[in-house]
Amino acid sequence: MSFTLPSRDVVTTINRDGSRNFLHPADVDGKFTQARRLAAVVILGAYVLLPWFQINGHPAVFLDIAERRFYLFGLTFAPQDLWLLFFLITGLGYLLFYVTSLLGRIWCGWACPQTIFLEHLYRRVERWLEGPANQRRLLDAQSWTMPEKFFRRGAKVLVFVFLSALIAHVFLAYFVSIPQLYSWMRDEPAQHWSAFLFAAALTGLLYFNFAWFREQFCLILCPYGRFQSALTDDDTLVIGYDAKRGEPRGKATDPAAGACVNCLRCVQVCPTGIDIRQGFQIECIGCAGCIDACNDVMDKLGRPRGLVRYDSLNGLTGKRRRVLRPRLYLYTVLLLVGAAVGLFSFSTVRPVDASIVRMGGRPYFITADSVRNQFNLRLINKRDTPLSLHFALEGAPAGLRLVGTNDTIILPPSEETVLPMVLQEDRGIYSGPANVTLRMTGENQSFTMPLRVEFLGPNANLLREDTAAPSP
């Protein structure tokens, strides 16, 4: 059976009658394909191993929602630190835009999870069980009553379900940890029904995506391809066809023909079903499969490589490509500014979160001997070990002192503690309201945190006059 020839006017995955046309891209080998496989191995290895790899007693990436603790490569974050996600998410998004303006859709073809799982797991299994592209098309045409189709497709379904369940459970491990996940897997599903339903639903969603929906996710759901018109220009590195060299197409023995022999090999290997010779298209994910396919044909014909290659639109038309250009300068400056602000924000993260709140009622109290303010000191230990904290007043009047709270406090691990705190000044030397700093220092000077406190009281002159007045 033959495959559908692409057209820029119609999506290749839709037949003329509106039904789904399932793509079966042919296998290809070459330097870019091998490099992509190596990148996929690294990314898949990181995805699987990060929940196992321990840093400071916790997985390298562990989002412990139940205990409201988030561990990221040795750093511990509490819910109070979630504002830092703004810098993390926007930084990654902007970095993606920056790379796109420079290197095109390298993310889609080389690092996107959709591409990694589909091309380097599911389709590898499919080729292994069902054979090359032409055999898979023959299986599509066969009836399910044929033993070959029943057993081959049945085996593929079982393997796909297993892979989907494996990916789902690894994903769940990022939120519950590997030991906890293993313990739950040994129990009955009813004992942990919420986690079981989540894993089952995610398994089904992954199976649906990678067994049926596939490239439709890139063509229909993902908005990234539609950003290209705004993110790229004629100097962006893309995959393209050298029409000046390739046209007119013809047989290899035709001296009047261009370099393209119209073998359709570039079309056969495309995972989204486009013809790269038709120009720059949003369906192209930049996988470079067409480059390896065309280079292989050129090698066999004894012709130079590069008929399909990585180049800019300017380069493909014979013009000079500018790597450094005004938008890159602007993007670089904005990226560096954002990175500096983000790094500074992350550097302010401390292992303890602290706040001081004035107790309800009167703002201050006056006794025969003193003027005092009462506060609640709220402390949250983000670590899993006890934390020793030392407190000292800075910039305070000579007679102002901390009462009722020890200079050193031991916080229990991963707990919130609220302590009463009293600031008191002797009435005889009271000098009026003051803004002071309560300096909190970690054990061995590991960190320091200033807490601003406003000490309130009456006018000092009026208080002295009241003290000096004789009692009736």
pLDDT of residue 97: 86
Whether 199 has a pLDDT exceeding 80, the answer reads yes
313 domain-assigned: no
Specify the 3-state DSSP secondary structure of 260: coil
Of 214, 238, 256, which closes a domain? 214
- Is 336 buried (19+), middle (13-18) or exposed (0-12) by CB count in 10 A? exposed
pLDDT of residue 197: 95
Q: What is the pLDDT of residues 356-401, one digit of tens each?
A: 999 988 999 998 888 999 999 999 888 878 888 988 888 888 888 8
Among 119-123, 380-384, 449-453, top mean pLDDT goes to: 119-123
> Is 377 within 8 Å of 354 (Cβ atoms)?
yes
210, 358: one domain: no
Q: Which helix (H) or strand (E) holds 310?
A: strand 308-311
Between 14-18, 87-91, 264-268, 337-341, the lowest mean confidence (pLDDT) is in 14-18
Residue 462: pLDDT band (50, 70, 90) is confident
**Boundaries of domain holding 445:** 352-468
128 domain-assigned: yes
pLDDT of residue 347: 83
pLDDT of residue 11: 84
Between 206-220, 281-295, 446-460, the lowest mean confidence (pLDDT) is in 446-460
pLDDT of residue 470: 52
pLDDT of residue 3: 58
337 domain-assigned: no
More confident residue, 324 or 278: 278
pLDDT of residue 4: 67
Residue 116: pLDDT band (50, 70, 90) is very high
Residue 17: pLDDT band (50, 70, 90) is confident
Whether 110 has a pLDDT exceeding 60, the answer reads yes
- One-letter identity of residue 362: R
Of 198, 214, 230, which closes a domain? 214
- What mean pLDDT, rounded, does the chain reach? 90
CA distances from 470 to 104, 247, 429, 458 (A): 86, 111, 19, 19
Separate counts of helices (H) and strands (E) for the chain: 17, 16
Contacts of 30 (CB under 8 A, 6+ apart): 291, 292, 293, 295, 296
Provide mean pLDDT across the span 120-129.
96
Strand partners of residue 64: 69
333 domain-assigned: no
Which ranges constitute the DSSP H helices of 76-192?
85-103, 106-110, 113-117, 123-130, 133-141, 147-176, 178-186
Q: How far is the C-alpha of 441 from the C-alpha of 386, rounded, in Å?
A: 14
Provide mean pLDDT across the span 453-463.
87
274 domain-assigned: no
pLDDT of residue 272: 93
268 domain-assigned: no
pLDDT of residue 346: 84
Structural domain count of the chain: 2
Whether 135 has a pLDDT exceeding 90, the answer reads yes
pLDDT of residue 158: 97
Among 77-81, 129-133, 463-467, top mean pLDDT goes to: 129-133
CA distances from 390 to 15, 103, 111, 115 (A): 73, 52, 47, 52
Whether 27 has a pLDDT exceeding 70, the answer reads yes
Measured N-to-C along each axis, helices 147-176 and 193-208 cross at an angle, to the nearest 10 degrees, of 130
Tokens of 395: 């910039």
pLDDT of residue 85: 86
Domain CATH code at residue 451: 2.60.40.10
Whether 24 has a pLDDT exceeding 60, the answer reads yes
275 domain-assigned: no
Between 66-70, 235-239, 468-472, the lowest mean confidence (pLDDT) is in 468-472
Strand partners of residue 380: 353, 416
Of 214, 233, 254, which closes a domain? 214
Q: What is the pLDDT of residues 279-321, one digit of tens each?
A: 988 899 999 999 999 999 999 999 999 999 999 999 999 898 8
Name the nearest CA neighbour of 400 among 425, 437, 421, 376: 425
Provide mean pLDDT across the span 204-222.
94
Whether 468 has a pLDDT exceeding 70, the answer reads no
Q: How far is the C-alpha of 3 from the C-alpha of 21, rounded, in Å?
A: 9
367 domain-assigned: yes
Residue 83: pLDDT band (50, 70, 90) is confident
More confident residue, 162 or 338: 162
